[in-house]
Chain A
Amino acid sequence: MPSAPADYHPPVTFRSLLFDDPDADLAVDRLAEPGCFGDIRLDQVVTAITAGREESKLAPFFRAPLRTRAAVTYRQDVFRDLGRPSILAALRAFAAGMRAMRADQHRARWAGHRLEEQRWMLAARLRYCAAVSGLSRDLATAQPAPASLALGRLAAYLDAEVTGGSFSALAADTARVAAGLATVTYRLEITGTRIRVGRWASPPPAGDGGAPEPDYGAEVRAAFERFRQGGAREFSFEIPTDDAMNPLEAELAERVARLYPDAFGALATYCAAHLDYLDETIVRLDRELAFCLAWLEHADRLAAAGLVMSLPEVTDSPTEASGRDLFDLALASARVREGATVVTNDLDVRPGERIVVISGPNQGGKTTFARTVGQVHYLASLGVPVPGRDVRVGLVDEIFTHFEREEDLRTLTSKLEDELLRIRMILETATPNSLVILNESFGSTSLEDALAIGRDVLGTVATHGPLCVFVTFLDELAAVGPGVVSMTSTVDPVDPAVRTFRVVRRPADGLAYADALARKHHLTEADIRARLGGRPA
């Protein structure tokens, strides 16, 4: 142990894994979903990530973007710690223990008999004690040690908690009662419809005091050993049992309890003594940790399909935006589930640029790319890993989106009017720290009008300041002026029916028909050499 420096201050008590200001999340559960969620499909992302973890109520955490780089750093540091296998394993084990504890509590609540309820109560407390003391031990011995402020404070908190009187008393009591029950073995004699329950381990009931009765199942197994070859299928039976103790089991259990009064008496006393046992901070930790683990689990699923998520570098310069292999998290989640491939794209907004105009063929991935840019910015402000690599984005204060909806039934004029009203509102509300995403706007008016409006809007943005992604079918807008990055969606030059979903800064090159097809199937001479190379004979 290194000695404490002279200016040592006792650590701030641990309160939250996700918020550097421990009171910052008090309002989280009351936040509404941000307006951009539907347009950039973050609503689907939230659904996918929180699925199966409803009991942890994770959705509110997605509605609370962080406002300062310090807050982002606090949380990113937690994720960095979780990137270390020993720390991740420690926290996963804790989360699994807490989940098991809740399941046992649930079973206690729905138990069919008093003896069953008492045993599940004991089990839940066993899980809790193991989870808390296990996490304390694992964090103290983790190599490397946690580097984040949050986990450092947590380790200190757990250390104090585990050595504290009430927790250690609970743990000792729980272990003692469990050990007593573990020694119980009883004997059933079944003939016809009569069952006799007796103590096992005493001499066999015939009373000769001889050897214990041999395991006949094992004898039968040995007799048939000759037919059991390597790779033999193992058989086991899913004995159909009710979820709770059935009446026959209850009858037998009561007789067993009478045969072993000490062990069962201790259990009853224990249950009465330890009704309230959960620590509030530990419960909160469990929920906040579930958010992190859900996120990482989702990232792992995508990683298995070759899609990388990483912690972005978050800057205070809102028009800074670059990254490689970005992808639409909502689309990727769905496609990976179906076993389909996902196309990634790069973004590179260079100094002096603040408008990204995405044009090009339809169905080529323009909208998907615009969503991707929005997701990456929003998720960066949540302090979580984002879909892509080498991502560097500014911390935006708000994301404004306007996506044209084809299913819109209003008349064209009212549609254009609504659209312009919406865009005016965005331009008036957006600050230089905002992100504005406009998707296929002005489709309801003439080409000339749309062009003129588009030029005007982009001109305003260019002076106004927010980073703007503008998806349009109007190629001309890509050349509006300085500050504009032109990106185009592409289709397969050979087979225009094939969507590449690739959005790039340079135009597609015209490849010869056959050569392009051969390339597409990786059947050029160089491709084949590479594909056959290194394959064992």
Chain B
Amino acid sequence: MKVHLLYPDRALDPDGPVAAHAADLVADLELGSLLDAMAGGDAFLRETARRVLVAPVTDPAGIHYRQAILADARERRAVVRDLYGIAVDAVLGEARVWGAFLDAYAESVLARATTVLELFIGLLRRLRSLGDQHAATFASDGMRRLFAEIDRDLDDAYLRSIEVHLEHLRFRDGMVLSVGLGAGNRGDGYVLRRPADGGKGWRQRVPLLDRDGYTYRIPEQSETAARNFAALKSQGIAQAAAALAQATDQILGYFKALRFELGFYVGCLNLEERLTAKRQSVCVPVAQASGSGHLSVTGLRDLALVLAVPPGGAVANDLDAAGRPLVVITGANRGGKSTLLRSLGQAQLMLQAGMFVGAEAFEAEVRGGVYTHFKREEDAGLESGKLDEELRRMSRIVDALPPDALLLLNESFASTNEREGAEIARQIVRPLLDAGVRVTYVTHMFALADGLARSEPDRGLFLRAERTGDGGRTYRVVPGEPLPTSYGGDIYRRVFGRPLGD
């Protein structure tokens, strides 16, 4: 039995390694508040959401698979939350059973596994009955298969036969072993045997008359003898204990996977409920094949901002960069450039997680990965150290970057002078575009933006933070060529009440 609610053909390892750049993604795209909303106070759900979000699905079919399951979940919220509850009961219940999962003595492992399996069999029966009631009301391939497997594998006869074995493995009638001679003439190749006569015959034998064998009695009250005896029996039942431990592990693994993978959809339900409260509508985005060049969005909002401010407080942006792999955003400081960049990154990750996005419409080609290279404000120290750090970070990104990635740069290489920063950036951006990387670059460096506008007239889309006639900001970003000066003067004037350089 497999869960497979995140991918049609495989599971996502809940404990597997997370991409090295995941922490940067969370910080740079301000995914924290999004994850908090998905968690709804449950740390496990937050971690689940984080892992799924930073591991984008890279084919449109895989995205459709999740979108269908999420549609089911949005229709049948209560059933999905019940299913999730069973998985949680199993995982937490197992953890409460006393004893180590793997003990040195097979005897104690066998005893613990028996107890855990009894608990699991009860929960598997609950799973089965939930499926019997509701399976027909689900439409997605993923959920239908989940219920079908439960129906196929967890029939009553099978669950009862398992209970019979659990009873036998308490060895109330003693045990029979066959043993070979191993290294040092010590026992080896222990095999547990099922006595042909059910273990009754030999108990009636009178030891003194036994001519085919010799009997030995374990000395009473000797701790050493007791330990050696336990070790001997452990050799004999090791295989059965291993089979039970493995079954326990597998069923636990199933419940863990169910908790994890279903947890992602529960997180989506939580997020949707929070956004609804903020009067933020969501849309199911359209995923296009990598290389198709699609990228268009209307009414895109930064969900971190939406969740933080009163309803309606976040500005929406439109963008059509279809066929233009380079997007350069210039213009006034604090004019909404970073907000747009973040919301583009969020939307791309949410699209490729199979989620809804915070926009009226969103259509984009899938990318092999999303990477961020943002200026780090907290970096103190010498300028040379800063640039060095920026370059080291970029080098790590280049190491990891698939050729069809999305790379979001925010004021990168602004820690050196403009001429040098522009030169470094130019040398990096062009070969990335040539390789197929989609690059979105927020910069106030005119030398860079202007240089790119000249060298990439066809591949580039150039946007400016919009200004109203009186020098105010709308926080909207609209198409426009780079202008030679940044608008730091605006902020200076507002803060100091006089023009810059006066």
Interface set of A (CB-CB < 8 Å, partner B): 107, 111, 115-116, 118-120, 123, 181-182, 184-200, 202, 204-208, 210-221, 223-224, 226-229, 232-241, 244-249, 251-253, 255-256, 258-259, 494-495, 513-515, 517-518, 520-525, 528-529, 531-532, 535, 537
Contacts and interface: CB of A to CB of B under 8 A. Distances in A.
A223 B162 contact: yes
A525 B433 CA distance: 11
A234 B241 CA distance: 11
Contacts of A216: 192-194, 240
B220 interface: yes
Given A205-B205, A224-B247, A249-B186, A188 B388 contact: no
Nearest to A199: B212
Nearest to B238: A237
A494 B153 CA distance: 66
Contacts of A119: 181, 183-185
Contact of A195 (B161, B194, B218, B224): B218
Given A188-B178, A525-B427, 17 more contacts: A184-B181, A188-B179, A191-B174, A196-B214, A198-B213, A202-B212, A205-B202, A217-B239, A217-B243, A228-B246, A232-B246, A237-B234, A244-B184, A251-B216, A256-B181, A513-B416, A514-B416
Given A196-B202, A223-B161, A537-B368, A532 B398 contact: yes
Interface string B270-302: 000000000000000000001000000000000
Interface in B156-202: 158, 161-162, 165, 169, 173-181, 183-187, 189, 191-197, 200-202
A523 B185 contact: no
A111 B186 CA distance: 11
Chain B, interface SS category: helix
A233 B246 contact: yes
A518 B195 contact: no
Contacts of B179: 185-188, 200
Given A194-B217, A195-B216, A525-B427, A213 B176 contact: yes
28 contacts: A115-B185, A181-B185, A188-B178, A195-B232, A197-B213, A197-B216, A206-B200, A213-B195, A215-B194, A216-B194, A220-B239, A221-B243, A223-B161, A228-B247, A233-B249, A234-B242, A239-B235, A240-B231, A241-B231, A248-B229, A248-B232, A249-B232, A494-B384, A514-B416, A523-B428, A524-B427, A528-B427, A528-B431
A248 B234 CA distance: 14
Contacts of B225: 247-248
Contacts of A233: 246, 249
Nearest to B179: A186
Contacts of B183: 119-120, 123
Nearest to B212: A198
Contacts of A495: 384, 388
Contact of A235 (B102, B162, B404): B102
A537 B403 contact: yes
Contacts of B187: 249, 252
Contact of B169 (A205, A220, A238): A220
Interface in B239-268: 239-247, 249-251, 254
Contacts of B368: 537
Contacts of A226: 1, 153, 158
A525 B432 CA distance: 9
A329 B241 CA distance: 50
A215 B237 CA distance: 11
B394 interface: yes
B470 interface: no
Contacts of B430: 525
B399 interface: yes
Contacts of B133: none
**Top 9 A-B pairs, shortest CB-CB distance:** A217-B239, A198-B213, A191-B174, A206-B201, A514-B420, A213-B193, A224-B247, A235-B242, A248-B228
Interface in B393-414: 394-395, 398-399, 401-404
A224 B249 CA distance: 11
Most A CB atoms within 10 A — which of B200, B229, B243, B403? B243
Given A521-B394, A525-B427, A190 B212 contact: no
B197 A204 contact: yes
B329 interface: no
B193 A229 contact: no
B192 A215 contact: yes
B237 A217 contact: yes
A524 B237 CA distance: 64
A239 B106 contact: yes
Given A193-B217, A216-B192, A227-B250, A185 B240 contact: no
B392 interface: yes
B424 interface: yes
Contacts of A246: 224, 228, 231
Contacts of B215: 194-197
Nearest to A117: B184
Nearest to A202: B212
A259 to B, nearest CB: 7
B102 A517 contact: no
Contacts of B109: 237
A237 B106 contact: yes
B387 A181 contact: no
Contacts of B421: 514
Contacts of B185: 115-116, 118-119, 181, 245, 253
A532 B218 contact: no
B434 interface: yes
B323 interface: no
B233 interface: yes
B2 interface: yes
A221 B239 contact: yes
A513 B197 CA distance: 88
A221 B224 CA distance: 31
Given A224-B162, A523-B395, A532-B403, A187 B178 contact: yes
Contacts of A228: 246-247, 250
A449 B440 CA distance: 64
B242 to A, nearest CB: 4
A204 B196 contact: yes
A111 B185 CA distance: 11
Most A CB atoms within 10 A — which of B214, B218, B402? B214
Contact of B218 (A215, A245, A248): A248
A223 B203 CA distance: 28
Given A189-B202, A198-B213, A523 B398 contact: yes
Contacts of A235: 102, 241-242, 245-246, 249
A237 B234 CA distance: 8
A197 B214 contact: yes
B130 to A, nearest CB: 19
Contacts of B162: 223-224
Nearest to B197: A206
Given A115-B185, A188-B176, A245-B185, A240 B104 contact: yes
B278 to A, nearest CB: 39
Nearest to A519: B391
B421 to A, nearest CB: 8
Contacts of A229: 1-2, 250
Given A521-B392, A528-B431, A535-B403, A253 B213 contact: no
A248 to B, nearest CB: 4
Nearest to B241: A237
Contact of B247 (A192, A202, A227): A227
Interface in B1-57: 1-2
Contacts of A232: 246, 249-250
B178 A186 contact: yes
B250 A191 contact: no
A214 B102 contact: no
Contacts of A247: 224-225, 228
Nearest to A514: B420
A187 B231 contact: no
Contacts of A191: 173-174, 203
Interface in B372-388: 384, 387-388
